[in-house]
Amino acid sequence: MVKASKGIMRKTRQKFRKRARQRGLSPITRALQRFEEGDKVSIIIDSGVHKGQPHKRFHGLTGKVVEKRGRAYVIDVRFGGKIKKAIALPEHLKRA
């Protein structure tokens, strides 16, 4: 038997799948969007862009932008009664 993978992308085949009309390259404007501190954003991981993806547990959650870190943003996300920080590039964020 083959040992089960324990990688960060395991069990994401359905979670990160794009719909038929969304397949292919994502628009460049998604990478160029800007957010200010205090903005509410939804974390929607774009599987076509591997760089700057937050952890898969944050996919579909909404949080508040806390700071900008290089090109990426730090987002406070409420997760299981706690506030956690997710770091993501703008390609994986959408205004909420």
The CATH number for 88's domain is: 2.30.30.70
Low-confidence ranges of the chain (pLDDT < 70): none
The domain tally of the chain equals 1
User: Is residue 8 in a domain?
Assistant: no
The parent domain of residue 64 ranges over: 26-95
User: Is residue 42 in a domain?
Assistant: yes
Q: Cβ(88)–Cβ(73) under 8 Å? A: yes
CA-based torsion, 48, 62, 39, 36: positive or negative:
negative
User: Is residue 15 in a domain?
Assistant: no
Pick the closest to residue 63 from 31, 32, 88, 34 (CA basis).
88
Q: What is the structure's pLDDT at 48?
A: 92
User: pTM to 2 decimals?
Assistant: 0.90
Residue spans of beta strands (DSSP E) within the chain: 40-43, 62-69, 72-79, 82-88, 93-95
| Interacting residues of 83 by C-beta distance below 8 A, sequence separation 6+ | 76, 77
